[in-house]
Amino acid sequence: MNSKPIISIIIPVYNREKLIPETLDSIVLQSFTNWECILVDDNSVDDSFRIMLKYKSIDARFKVFKRPQALKKGANACRNFGFLKTSGSYIKWFDSDDVMLSKHLEVAYNTVIKDELDFVITDTLNFSHESGKIEGKPFEFDKNKESITAKNFALNRIGWITDDFLGSRKIVENIRFNENITTDGDEYNFFVKLLSQSFNGAFIEEVLTHRRVHDNSLTNIHGEDTAHYIGKVANIKFQTAKDLVLSNDLDLIRWFLSGYMQFAFKLALVNQTIPFKFSSFKLICRYYSVSKGLAFILAIITVNYFKKGFNIMKYARK
């Protein structure tokens, strides 16, 4: 084995003492062996850290860290910190409760090299934590019809989970997980940003991951019809619009701002606090116009006090 690993696997961990052994065992059993696994504990209060240290003592390819107290709590801060500790030419993020099938790394890496790609996207099946039964896929779409673009990903025409991605260090080194997104949507934000740069990527039509679905899954919140959920969506849309300023993708920035305005209006309708109301005003003025920014604020005020303003908001989002 070369002294320098080819693939760096990064896993944020928080209170996974009952699940992390199965995940780490699946990595040990990979047919591709030239890897390092960076485990970043988010200051767990259970036995997770001790278990990770045990794996490290048995297999030096595991490297164990705690999230520095100065960093914001959450999986994204752990992922960003973990990336700084990597040395591999290819990067794989993985979740602490999921399972790699034995040829996961081998198939993904061989495809990247053979086809001279920046990244590949593998496939995943969900399985029930309670019963162990397969419960379909996280995303269902025709990979032969839908191309990999930032717009297709943003509009959910295509999609994947963090586990599905294997990419070159070069394609990810200037992208970071947004640490202000601490709930579902972190990977969505990350991959929209990644796809807004030039790339050469491809799908692999092979299931190489089993994703555990249970009550504590980070992604098990879709479909909530609550003010709390609406607030999460508004947050993700604004954060993503703001992050895309660096790539200057005008169409996508406007699309995300339009979505943010829609969900901000829904929050105002039920008298909930609107995140980034004044920061968003500046961005709307910049990427739409001052009149649209003013219309957005006026619509929020009108719906707050009079439960009206739908047409004003419609004008702002045009």
pLDDT at 165 over 70: yes
Q: What tens digit of pLDDT does each residue of 135-155 get?
A: 899 999 999 899 999 999 999
Q: What tens digit of pLDDT does each residue of 235-279 get?
A: 999 999 999 999 999 999 999 999 999 999 999 999 999 999 999
Q: What mean pLDDT is predicted for residues 89-102?
A: 97
In a domain, 220, yes or no: no
Domain closes at, from 182, 213, 244: 213
Is residue 299 a contact partner of residue 265, using CB atoms and an 8 Å limit? yes
Instruction: Tell me the residue range of the domain where 259 lies.
Output: 227-317
Q: Return the CATH number at 98.
A: 3.90.550.10
Total number of domains constituting the chain: 2
pLDDT at 133 over 50: yes
Percent of the residues in the chain that have a pLDDT greater than 70, as a whole number? 96
Is residue 176 a contact partner of residue 137, using CB atoms and an 8 Å limit? no
Determine the Cα–Cα distance for residues 81 and 37; give it in Å rounded to an integer.
13
Strand pairing category for 165-168 and 119-128: antiparallel
Claim to verify: residue 56 and residue 193 sit in the same structural domain: yes
Is residue 247 a contact partner of residue 196, using CB atoms and an 8 Å limit? yes
pLDDT of residue 239: 96
Domain closes at, from 213, 239, 258: 213
Q: What tens digit of pLDDT does each residue of 66-85 get?
A: 999 999 999 999 999 999 99
Q: What tens digit of pLDDT does each residue of 185-235 get?
A: 789 999 999 999 999 999 999 999 999 987 544 444 444 558 888 999 999
116: left (phi over 0), alpha (psi -120 to 50) or beta: left
In a domain, 233, yes or no: yes
Claim to verify: residue 20 and residue 100 sit in the same structural domain: yes
Claim to verify: residue 193 and residue 264 sit in the same structural domain: no
Mean pLDDT of the chain: 93
